[in-house]
Amino acid sequence: MSRVLVTGASGMLGHDVCRVFSKDYDIFPFSHKELDIIDEARIREVFKELNPDIVINCAAYTQVDLCEEKKDLAFKVNSQGVHNLSKMCDSFNAFLVHISTDYVFSGKSKSPYKEEDNTSPINVYGASKLEGEKKIQDTFDNYIIVRTSWLFGKNGKNFIKTILELSKKLDVLRVVDDQVGRPTYTKDIAQGIKWLLDSGAKGIFHVANEGTCSWYELARFAIKEKGIDVEIIPVDSNEFKRPAERPSYSVLDTTKFKTTCGRSLRHWKDAVRDYLSYLKLDD
């Protein structure tokens, strides 16, 4: 049974990756506290101890607005940390699966972004993640880079959970309607990563749930599904000035993923319904 080292295992995506992969792989989960990918000596220590066949890197500095303020930290984790992992994978002949983001694109496209389209991030988070991608590509070719978007999942903070919490406190919610993307359930993308590995794939892949929407449409759908009586008003991004600019259109084209795996992730609405059914346990 292949030995899989998962970094960032206590995070929203890492949690579901461990759960999905534990059925067919020997999983070794490491939280940030147990393995900081900035610490090259610690990485070497873990690799010597485990000699993993596959490394799935879910570790990242993902606080988009704080990245603008803490640029050095963002690049240390999302670029140098990724470089540390890729070098160690190369030394130990391990396969690397790295999670990247739709934010490597500018958002100025009118059609879904393909893997080979020009990257042009408009914030520090996107720039740091793109540099991490390049570090991997410059190191070796034994990898999959998975770009995904708008993640939500049970084991962490996310947009849907925030909206539901706000709906308990406010009578009116104002939600951005001029940013469009593909909401993606961490449970589903974890399965998609497994399909890619099972297919023997290498390279960059866009993986996300089917369908597109704005943040407003996502909020409205979640609120309706939960049967909550609250007014939701669509607004443009200018109403919410934030440190980091967001892409207005970051829809990922998943054709390559679907062709490679022979299947696709379900529609985001079905994924949200599934997620909300889990949340009922916590209500």
Query: Among 25, 113, 125, 275, which one carries the catalytic annotation?
Result: 125
Q: Does residue 269 sit in helix, strand or coil?
A: helix
Segment holding 232, helix H or strand E: strand 231-235
Active site residue 125: yes
CA 105 to chain centre: 14
| Residue corresponding to tokens 């140098």 | 80
Alpha-carbon distances, residue 264 vs 194, 208, 209, 259 (angstroms):
12, 9, 8, 9
Query: Residue 161: what residue type?
Result: K
- The answer to whether 202 touches 256, Cβ cutoff 8 Å, is no
Query: Phi/psi class of residue 52: alpha, beta or left (left: φ > 0; alpha: ψ in -120 to 50)?
Result: beta
Alpha-carbon distances, residue 125 vs 62, 275, 280 (angstroms):
7, 26, 33
Catalytic machinery residues? 125
